[in-house]
């Protein structure tokens, strides 16, 4: 049995070209972009400055969830997010580890989330 292999010319942008041309394949372009990103560090951060944040403000929470900050506020008022940590009168923060667990468990409403996690803080 013989396999027939065909090659299709695909333009992959170089660093100087920036954007891909209209006829380049999106999967090839995406793979190329991923290969140019820096690899994650193999070891845990060595200094506190490199450690991931423990608390996320509204903007960092929005970036982590992939929504605008206004949506985070709306979801919080509607009881769709875990209970935030309040610092001062107006500053709200979410625990990064709790937010990650909440997403892993399919983002349940706040009341159900509190029962699911068993009241642990």
The predicted-structure confidence for 40-88, as pLDDT tens digits, reads as follows 455 555 566 678 889 999 999 999 999 999 999 999 999 999 999 999 9
Strands, E assignment, 1-121: 55-56, 85-87, 91-95
In the numeric block, which tokens belong to residue 1? 């049995």
Average pLDDT for 10-22 = 48
The pLDDT of residue 27: 41
The whole-angstrom separation of Cα 108 and Cα 119 is 15
The pLDDT of residue 79: 96
Residues ≥6 apart with Cβ < 8 Å to 105: 113, 116
Domains of the chain: which residue ranges?
A: 53-116
The pLDDT of residue 118: 78
Query: Is 86 or 16 the better-scoring residue by pLDDT?
Result: 86
Average pLDDT for 21-34 = 44
- Site of tokens 């396999």: 3
Residues ≥6 apart with Cβ < 8 Å to 30: none
């Amino acid at each position: 049995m013989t396999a027939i292999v065909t090659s299709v010319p695909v333009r992959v942008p170089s660093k100087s070209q920036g954007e891909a041309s209209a006829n380049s394949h999106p999967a090839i372009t995406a793979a190329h972009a991923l290969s140019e990103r820096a690899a994650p560090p193999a070891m845990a951060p060595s200094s506190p400055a490199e450690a991931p944040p423990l608390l996320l403000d509204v903007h960092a929470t929005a970036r982590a969830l992939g929504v605008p900050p206004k949506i985070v506020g709306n979801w919080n008022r509607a009881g769709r997010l875990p209970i935030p940590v309040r610092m001062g009168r107006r500053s709200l923060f979410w625990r990064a580890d709790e937010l990650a667990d909440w997403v892993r468990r399919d983002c349940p409403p706040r009341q159900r989330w509190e029962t699911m996690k068993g009241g642990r803080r």
